[in-house]
Chain A
Amino acid sequence: QQQVKQSPQSLIVQKGGIPIINCAYENTAFDYFPWYQQFPGKGPALLIAIRPDVSEKKEGRFTISFNKSAKQFSLHIMDSQPGDSATYFCAASMSGAGSYQLTFGKGTKLSVIP
């Protein structure tokens, strides 16, 4: 059973556009929600993360919006650039004892056209 659902699978935007990637989770025990960025031939790299006590977090051009009641969170990339073209993964984890792994969404391939 997939516990984190991510959409869309792929996304094409023009340079300067604001791509939005959405994720929904099922397990209300999740309390840590990171986003990872992966370039071809590389491992995923942590981009930004949020905990459910805040509704929004910004780091540079990247913003996470979090809706605890809807069990949804999303990544917005402001003023997107061709260098942002990559695959983006949302993930979730529980900080309680016995839960150490990240559960990932299936990824969104973003292409930013110059």
Chain B
Amino acid sequence: DSGVTQTPKHLITATGQRVTLRCSPRSGDLSVYWYQQSLDQGLQFLIQYYNGEERAKGNILERFSAQQFPDLHSELNLSSLELGDSALYFCASSRRDRVGDYGYTFGSGTRLTVV
């Protein structure tokens, strides 16, 4: 157990729907990062929050949004889902607002299947 908790583990939904993925960071970690992993694109950075504030944005679609709450858990909202959004979504956390020498700690991911 890495200490980063992601729920749900699996999600199957229809095109056009909206889903919410949840992440609880490791105790004491203030930064949360979201990544999308697909077979053809590998691990793609989506967005980062640090202590409730957005810190960096990557290849995140406008249909996707995220937030980090005062208790530091984060949610990734995916709307108007398309077949191509099917992927593994990982959350990672770190103590500070940048990578540092200890990298990230990843959760086990949420596997999203859009049908």
Number of interface residues of A (CB under 8 A): 23
**Is B106 a contact partner of A100 (Cβ separation < 8 A)?**
no
B58 within 8 A of A: yes
User: Interface of chain A, helix or strand or loop or mixed?
Assistant: loop
Is B107 an interface residue, CB under 8 A from the partner?
A: yes
A98 located at the interface, meaning its Cβ lies under 8 Å from any Cβ of chain B in the complex: yes
In the complex, B108 has a CB within 8 A of chain A: yes
Chain B 1-35: CB-based contact to A (< 8 A → 1; otherwise 0): 01010000000000000000000000000010100
Is B83 an interface residue, CB under 8 A from the partner? no
Q: List 14 A-B contacts (CB under 8 A).
A: A43-B106, A45-B2, A46-B103, A46-B104, A89-B43, A99-B98, A100-B33, A100-B48, A100-B99, A101-B33, A101-B45, A101-B48, A102-B43, A103-B45
Chain A residues within CB distance 8 Å of chain B: 32, 34, 36, 41-46, 49, 89, 93, 95, 98-107
Binary A-proximity of B31-71 (CB < 8 A = 1, otherwise 0): 10100000001111100101000011010000000000000
Kindly report which residue of chain A lies nearest to residue B44, judged by CB atoms. A104
Contact in complex: A107, B42 (CB < 8 Å)? yes
In the complex, which residues of chain A have a beta carbon less than 8 angstroms from the beta carbon of B45?
Answer: 101-103
